[in-house]
């Protein structure tokens, strides 16, 4: 079960609900930093993501073209030794017909997030997890597991095998 904060809205108004929780100028600042980060080579992009409020550990690699949360970036924590593949999408919010939802995203240590993966709000990815390319993560991923498929499935592995 995802850990979400839910704001009920009138039909068709969920895309405006974030304004009750965040000043529009902060979102614009985050959008600018996210844009610069998406155009910046190497680890200089981490500087911009940290300026947005994202907590980022040591030895994190973020590949080009990812889409990073701009409304609630302070709700994202990325552990040590994490690789986030090209064009991954990390969002701590979602709009629905009758409600606006947001929640934290916690990525543990030694995690691989494959290219074009999609992380939804309110989830935690455990240490040593592997998220293959094109995987949508809509619930917590246990440590030492590969998350795959639709519906989402998990397969535990032993990291001590050689």
CA distance 27 to 33: 10
> Could you tell me if 147 and 130 are in contact, meaning their C-beta atoms sit under 8 angstroms apart?
yes
Q: What is the CATH number of the domain that holds 72?
A: 2.160.10.10
pLDDT digits (tens, 9 = 90+) for 124-154: 999 999 999 999 999 999 999 999 988 999 9
Residue 161: inside a domain, yes or no?
no
Question: Model pTM greater than 0.85?
Answer: yes
Residue 162: inside a domain, yes or no?
no
Closest-CA residue to 27 (of 86, 71, 73): 71
Residue 141: inside a domain, yes or no?
yes
Residue 73: inside a domain, yes or no?
yes
Domain, as residue range, for 63:
5-156
Domain count of the chain?
A: 1
Residue 77: inside a domain, yes or no?
yes
pLDDT values of the chain reduced to their tens digit, one per residue, 162 residues: 789 999 999 988 899 999 999 999 999 999 999 999 988 888 889 999 999 999 999 999 999 899 999 999 999 999 999 999 999 999 999 999 999 999 999 999 999 999 999 999 999 999 999 999 999 999 999 999 999 988 999 999 887 755
Q: Which secondary structure element, helix H or strand E, spans residue 47, and what is its range? A: helix 44-52
């Amino acid at each position: 079960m995802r850990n979400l904060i839910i704001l009920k809205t009138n039909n068709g108004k969920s895309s405006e609900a974030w304004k009750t929780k965040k000043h529009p100028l902060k979102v614009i600042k985050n959008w600018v930093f996210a844009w610069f980060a998406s155009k910046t080579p190497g680890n200089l992009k981490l500087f911009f993501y940290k300026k947005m409020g994202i907590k980022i550990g040591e030895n994190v690699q973020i590949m080009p073209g990812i889409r990073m949360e701009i409304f609630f970036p302070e709700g994202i924590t990325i552990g040590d030794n994490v690789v986030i593949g090209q064009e991954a999408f990390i969002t701590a919010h979602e709009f629905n017909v009758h409600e606006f939802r947001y929640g934290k995203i916690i990525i543990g240590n030694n995690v691989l997030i494959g290219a074009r993966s999609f992380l939804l709000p309110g989830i935690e990815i455990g240490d040593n997890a592997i998220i293959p390319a094109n995987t949508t993560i809509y619930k917590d991923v246990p440590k030492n597991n590969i998350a795959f498929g639709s519906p989402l499935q998990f397969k535990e592995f032993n990291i001590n095998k050689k």
